[in-house]
Amino acid sequence: MLPDGALLEAREINAWRGDRHILRDVSFSVRSGEFLKITGPNGVGKTTLLRVVCGLLPAESGSVAWRGKTILGASEEFHTDMVYLGHLNSLKADLTARESLRFLAGLRQALGPSDIDGALDRVGILSRGDLPARSLSAGQKRRLALARLLLSGAVLWILDEPVTNLDTAGVDLVEELVREHVGRGGLALAAAHQRLLDGDPILRRLELS
């Protein structure tokens, strides 16, 4: 049984990296309309925890539940409801920005040209839509990855250092996107060591040590 109102719950997660016990009995829950920011020093296990929550990495022990079912038991529903933005932007160098969004987001749902252009415009790179990804700057590639979030239709956003390679305006954009997402009833989980919605009412914090 999930805590009252929670959609996502991790319970007593333990994980090792080599001979290091990097996650020790980590538990949390996230409700609709909440943003959980995971903080802590480099190497403490923030990325490992996100990958466990996504189902990309098995935990030594513990469980992750989505809508009251373990993510293994609710695999299809969970992966429809969830989108993961990792350290790498998962872009194909020879595809244009528009083609990348059709490929990445179009796996989930039918997208029209207006949907794709709307997402590119929202993240500030509409004028770069016909350029191959290899021609984009690091910040523009990150913005393109953010556009994928907007087109995913996912309820749960799992973000690993989402403001990497972004300038101050880019950080502001990420904050706006997360705020809008949770304002619509979505939820978000992010590992971040930089400023990200600090002091905002939607923020909850989980400190790893």
Per-residue pLDDT of the chain (209 residues; tens, 9 = 90+): 455 679 999 999 999 988 899 999 999 999 999 999 999 998 899 999 999 999 999 999 999 999 999 998 778 889 889 999 998 777 888 999 999 998 876 566 677 889 999 999 999 999 999 999 999 999 999 999 999 999 998 999 999 999 999 999 999 999 999 999 999 999 999 999 888 999 898 999 999 98
Residue 112 confidence (pLDDT): 85
Model pTM score: 0.92
User: Sign (positive/negative) of CA torsion 97, 100, 102, 104?
Assistant: negative
Block residue for tokens 């749960």: 156
Hey, where are the domains in the chain? 6-207
Residue 110 confidence (pLDDT): 72
How far from 72 is each of 66, 134, 204, CA to CA, in Å?
A: 9, 36, 26
CATH number, domain 6-207: 3.40.50.300
Sheet with 6-17: strands ordered across? 20-31, 6-17, 61-66, 69-70
Residue 1 confidence (pLDDT): 46
Q: How far apart, in whole angstroms, are the C-alpha atoms of residue 197 and residue 201?
A: 9
Residue 92 confidence (pLDDT): 85
Residue 49 confidence (pLDDT): 97
Q: What is the 3-state secondary structure (H, E, C) of 12-35?
A: EEEEEECCEEEEEEEEEEEECCCE
